[in-house]
Chains A and B, each alone.
Chain A
């Protein structure tokens, strides 16, 4: 009965993604043995193999058993982890990492530069959703036991960040060819999977790794990660005090959760709105005109949309860059104040005084009634929308393959401008489904990639302004994602990741 919610979960979980960073571990918490931590999660493990590792909502599973080469702290600053030092060559195409020499995988295999090189290549060639993180990695090879050299085919400003996430996870090379590599992880992480007590797809149990090299990051003897498929059961588990900390699915239940004694830690890490993808007018000629795209932006009452979609929990926005980005420009949020009359005017100027017909995809995964609101507001400015209903699974495929000129979507707010551009703006970006190739845009992106930090920041700002004015998207709001914790648990949310990093969840006091 609850598929649709599950579908939302899958979609949102997938949509929110990425990035990470390091925290040096809450060193002040001397109490590194706090009994059992029970977490609530909304996705099961897709694969325990490092080469197929997911991130975002699956990051706690991975962080329990694996170490990453680098670490990101709660605001995204890169910190050492298995790699203690890192340095680029002059043109940012060779990255050299210095590795720890005191780490062993739980099967006894020592961690060394060769293992790191193998893991990196394997991830690049594997089928993790984020395999493309390492698309610029031409080669990785061990210089000696503690030094690994990464050769890049092109500079990648986000490379260090990637190495703090699933791309940097280190699995024992001895386990690569094991038959149960997908279900039994062999890493060097703070915990090991207790296969006997784990019920895959429901409850994952992790025991403290007694030989862990960094006991400061081990706050519990045992960590239980429970997967809740449905918002009702998740709410029941929270209300029944069955989890110490959990992510949430549904902002309408926050009152109940607070009443049960949980602390809410909100984070905004995605934006909702329209991807106005057909900027060349391939499927819908009117969309080629920037005035029409601007009209689409004027047509929506963003505050009301935030209320309707997210129960008012979140912030309205007109740009797709996150507030943490240097390119973020508060003044851009005054570009398209709700103004249906202005929208009609623009449409008339563009040659569509009577509006036009538009086919959009819909999916129950986004909340069926939300589409009625989109339809109505566009109708108010003369754009007649017909919906084609898709299974939530086919929705993304349709979007990334440019099947619909305009579509509702929720997209992640990447921590770096480069990543964000690679994800949804660049001509080859996944969510540039029509592969719009605008020389101005591409120019800015090149600056992001190869320019100095200053050049990159200027280019980012310009890029943001340009796509807002060109109406590449019609962003509405950034909804809050609430992470909740009980009276015995402290946590710090992670910028750009839907789940706090595991070592940032600690016993209180």
Chain B
């Protein structure tokens, strides 16, 4: 187990290294005139040249990459070109915000999708059809429309929630809860659509297993069989989907954070990428890449726990 984890972590670090190199190269391919982008139309050519010199963007890419890498290895990701904030500070102050929404959405969508999926798989018939319709609609309706709809109904008309903004959990838990409810709901709907199909399929598959009949023959109740045994066995594939969803939700958070004006990673990734804020984008690439690596590793470990056959020794 430990060796497996270490091996995966090492491969993850190599992956991060390659991703950061590729991203750095790509970013500089599309860089254009950075100084002009930062200073806008009002600045004169001289000021732009001075800015470019300060940023060192006229130097060769290779040299700058190793310079970046050297600093990054010591935990110094530089400062954002556009907001002058330190990259580590910008990312970590926002990481918690995004994670609280994404984890919230993962939990909510995981639970709802599991309940719906199990229900559909057990009832079949109209329940199944209903769930399929929900899944197809959730798949087809773009997330931003859902978000706009939720804001208009629940914030602007019913005044149940604030339309924009984020309250720190440490400042007020209920405030936090009310500020993340709509974003989480907006994010969850698409994810539920994706996960429910998987849960339904896995449960149906698992229910057809011979051991389910044997468990029934032992006098176990249907609920116990489904929620303890079938779900545990269906958990592996469903969890893999959940992991993909989690990573997808980090992406989905971009839109939701924009619409709800939430200070998360999504918000800065949009602006940083559009502006070509190389230090900030690089920081984001590393952090999101690390998140992906860690989530995948965690999923593999949990898979092992759920399925003794693939448990790594």
Interface residue ranges, A against B (CB under 8 Å)? 1-3, 6-7, 10-11, 13-15, 17-18, 44-49, 52, 54, 127-132, 135, 182-183, 199-203, 226-230, 232-234, 236-237, 239-240, 242, 391, 393-394, 396-397, 399-400, 411-412, 423, 430-431
Contacts and interface: CB of A to CB of B under 8 A. Distances in A.
Contacts of A183: 84-86
A130 B39 CA distance: 9
11 contacts: A1-B254, A3-B273, A13-B40, A18-B42, A129-B47, A202-B263, A226-B261, A233-B259, A236-B260, A394-B32, A399-B41
Nearest to B151: A236
Nearest to B157: A239
A48 B84 contact: yes
Contacts of A14: 40-42
B85 A127 contact: no
A200 B165 contact: no
A236 B163 contact: yes
B82 interface: yes
A48 B89 CA distance: 16
A2 B84 contact: no
B51 interface: yes
Contact of A242 (B38, B50, B86, B164): B164
B296 interface: no
B270 A6 contact: yes
B44 A201 contact: no
Given A46-B83, A199-B93, A229-B271, A239 B163 contact: yes
Nearest to A182: B84
Contacts, number: 167
Contact size class for B? 35 or more
Nearest to A127: B51
A187 to B, nearest CB: 16
A130 B47 CA distance: 8
A131 B43 contact: yes
Contacts of B85: 182-183, 200-201
B46 interface: yes
B47 to A, nearest CB: 5
Interface of B: 30, 32-33, 36-47, 50-51, 54, 79, 82-86, 89-90, 93, 144, 148, 151, 155-156, 162-166, 254-255, 258-261, 263, 267-268, 270-271, 273-276
Contacts of B43: 129-132, 430
B164 A240 contact: yes
B91 to A, nearest CB: 11
Given A130-B42, A393-B275, A45 B261 contact: no
A242 B270 contact: no
Given A3-B270, A199-B263, A226-B261, A10 B40 contact: yes
A255 to B, nearest CB: 14
A244 to B, nearest CB: 14
A44 B165 CA distance: 15
A229 B165 CA distance: 12
Tell me whether chain B's interface is mostly helix, strand or loop, or mixed. helix
Contacts of B90: 200-201
Contacts of B271: 6, 201, 229
Contact of B261 (A48, A127, A233): A233
Contacts of A201: 83, 85, 90, 263, 267-268, 271
A229 B261 contact: yes
A232 B163 CA distance: 10
Contact of A6 (B42, B46, B259, B274): B274
A200 B270 contact: no
Given A130-B42, A131-B50, 9 more contacts: A2-B270, A13-B40, A17-B40, A54-B40, A135-B44, A226-B261, A237-B165, A237-B261, A430-B41
Nearest to A412: B42
Contact of A44 (B37, B83, B144): B83
B202 to A, nearest CB: 32
B239 to A, nearest CB: 29
A257 to B, nearest CB: 12
Contacts of A10: 40, 275
A507 to B, nearest CB: 22
A412 B40 CA distance: 12
Nearest to B33: A397
Given A46-B82, A46-B83, A201-B90, A129 B261 contact: no
A423 B42 contact: yes
Contact of B38 (A15, A46, A200, A399): A46
Nearest to B81: A46
Interface centre among B33, B43, B261 (most CB of A within 10 A): B261
A225 to B, nearest CB: 13
B259 A230 contact: yes
Contact of B84 (A49, A130, A203): A49
B164 A17 contact: no
B203 to A, nearest CB: 34
Nearest to A410: B41
A74 B51 CA distance: 32
B276 A393 contact: yes
B163 A237 contact: yes
B243 to A, nearest CB: 24
A37 to B, nearest CB: 16
Nearest to A125: B50
A183 B274 CA distance: 22
